[in-house]
């Protein structure tokens, strides 16, 4: 079998309007529309504190969706307090980030996602997702009508291992021992390209160029040609 290992966020789909700082801003604008807060102000607080910011540290103890989200609430509270809300209001607003971030109306596919997955399936590739994401990733994938394309979804929030941790990749390799060709496809040079290559998996960087990436495409529609040549 031929296996493609896909990143999800900013590769196959994305949250319209932005991710973490944007979700916080939506909560604050809804709950306190009279208090001016900017995306840049909140963004200062979302650059650390998430599991993927320290991928060298596994987190199998966050073994339920509630535990995973509760571990992030201090980040959200700090952001709310940092832009001027008192502790009680910050606590309440932090609780509202989860449903705001997960709002299915906010999630989109790139236009080239489904056509490319279909084209590659038609020539014999098996698809799986390996993503640093929230516990509800499978629900998001299903809501975007992508579930039928993927044999498995490996989600760091559930496995406890963030890319580029070697175990994140080893889990995929163990699950597909019969794969005779394997490629990683994602938008992060560090997590998707360097992580995969360290595990012996060739990788293609998509959407975000990096000068050190050996293989890069601006759109997914370019992948069938590249993979055909490499097959």
Domains annotated for the chain, with CATH where assigned, are: 2-14+107-230 (3.40.50.1000), 15-105 (1.20.120)
Q: Write down the pLDDT at residue 217.
A: 97
Which stretches of 16-152 are DSSP H helices? 20-31, 39-43, 65-82, 87-95, 97-101, 113-122, 137-143
Average pLDDT for residues 213-223, to the nearest whole number?
96
pTM listed for this prediction: 0.95
* pLDDT greater than 60 at residue 231: no
pLDDT in tens, 148-191: 999 999 999 999 999 999 999 999 999 999 999 999 999 999 99
pLDDT in tens, 148-160: 999 999 999 999 9
């Amino acid at each position: 079998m031929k296996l493609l290992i896909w990143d999800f966020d900013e590769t196959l789909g994305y949250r319209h309007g932005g991710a973490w700082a944007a979700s916080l801003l939506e909560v604050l604008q809804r709950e306190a529309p009279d208090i001016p807060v900017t995306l840049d102000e909140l963004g200062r607080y979302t650059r650390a504190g998430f599991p993927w910011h320290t991928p060298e540290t596994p987190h199998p103890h966050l073994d339920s969706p509630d535990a995973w989200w509760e571990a992030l609430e201090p980040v959200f509270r700090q952001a709310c307090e940092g832009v001027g809300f008192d502790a009680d209001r910050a606590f309440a607003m932090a609780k509202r980030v989860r449903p705001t971030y997960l709002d299915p109306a906010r999630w989109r596919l790139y236009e080239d996602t489904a056509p490319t997955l279909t084209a590659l399936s038609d020539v014999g590739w098996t698809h799986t997702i390996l993503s640093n994401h929230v516990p509800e990733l499978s629900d998001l994938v299903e809501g975007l009508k992508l579930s039928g394309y993927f044999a498995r979804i490996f989600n760091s929030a559930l496995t406890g291992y963030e890319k580029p941790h070697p175990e994140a990749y080893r889990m995929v390799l163990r699950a597909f021992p019969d794969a005779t060709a394997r490629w990683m496809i994602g938008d992060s040079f560090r997590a998707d390209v360097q992580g995969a290559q360290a595990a012996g998996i060739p990788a293609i960087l998509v959407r975000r160029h990096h000068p050190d990436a050996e293989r890069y495409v601006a759109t997914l529609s370019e992948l069938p040609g590249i993979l055909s040549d490499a097959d």
